[in-house]
Structure 1
């Protein structure tokens, strides 16, 4: 018997999946709107079709959040940069938290 395949290769993928499900369940967007946004992330007008990986899920979710006025591009970029700084500052094996960002301010 073969080992089961993990549906997510990293915790952030599960988090993106959970956010999409929760936000759709809360009514922020419909299944059709999600399909359109994910389709646009997978098949950009200016390039070849890409894999429907969780990076594309995240891009589609960011597009919806920006379109709804929940989080604009600069806010999303700032959070992404903060996460990357936190990841750099986090010792190997420990969870990455934004408080580890050297520029973190409450």
Structure 2
């Protein structure tokens, strides 16, 4: 018997704006027919199964990683572009004052402005 899949923490599913954004991106890709529900379930399930966090607290990290896997597999975004954008986002987040929006400019590295 397999353990039930972890659920998002708390009653409200999103603890941070990025979680809602990655959720919305996934739904938009499904709505556009670029990602199928079955392949999405398989990708997310694989990431959750590979997780070393038994309490499910990394649910949206698994979600984001599964989305990255599908984007790369479908060649909608190269793995290099995904890694570069992720690194730029983390650098911008580190420079952004608490409570301010994290923003990437066209070069992918500036914080400040509108999201």
Give the TM-score band, short-chain normalised: 0.7 to 0.9
The corresponding residue for 1:79 is 85
Q: Which runs of 5+ in 2 are unaligned?
A: 1-9, 111-115
Offset at residue 95 of structure 1 (A): 0.5
Task: Say whether 1:43 aligns with 2:49.
Answer: yes
> Secondary structure in 2 aligned to 1:94?
coil
TM score, norm. by length of structure 1:
0.80
How many residues of Structure 1 are paired with residues of Structure 2 in the alignment? 97
Q: 1:13-32 residue pairs with structure 2 within 5 A? A: 13-32=19-38
Structure number, greater radius of gyration: 1
- Which structure carries more relative contact order (alpha carbon 8 Å, separation 6+)? 2
The runs of 4+ residues in structure 1 deviating greater than 4 Å are 47-50
Distance 1:70 1:53 in 2: 23
Q: Which runs of 5+ in 1 are unaligned?
A: none
1:23-64 Cα distance to aligned partner (Å, 9 max, x none): 0111012111111111111113xx757536111111110011
Partners of 1:90 and 1:96 within 8 A in 2: yes
Task: Say whether 1:11 aligns with 2:17.
Answer: yes
Task: Say whether 1:91 aligns with 2:97.
Answer: yes
TM score, norm. by length of structure 2:
0.74
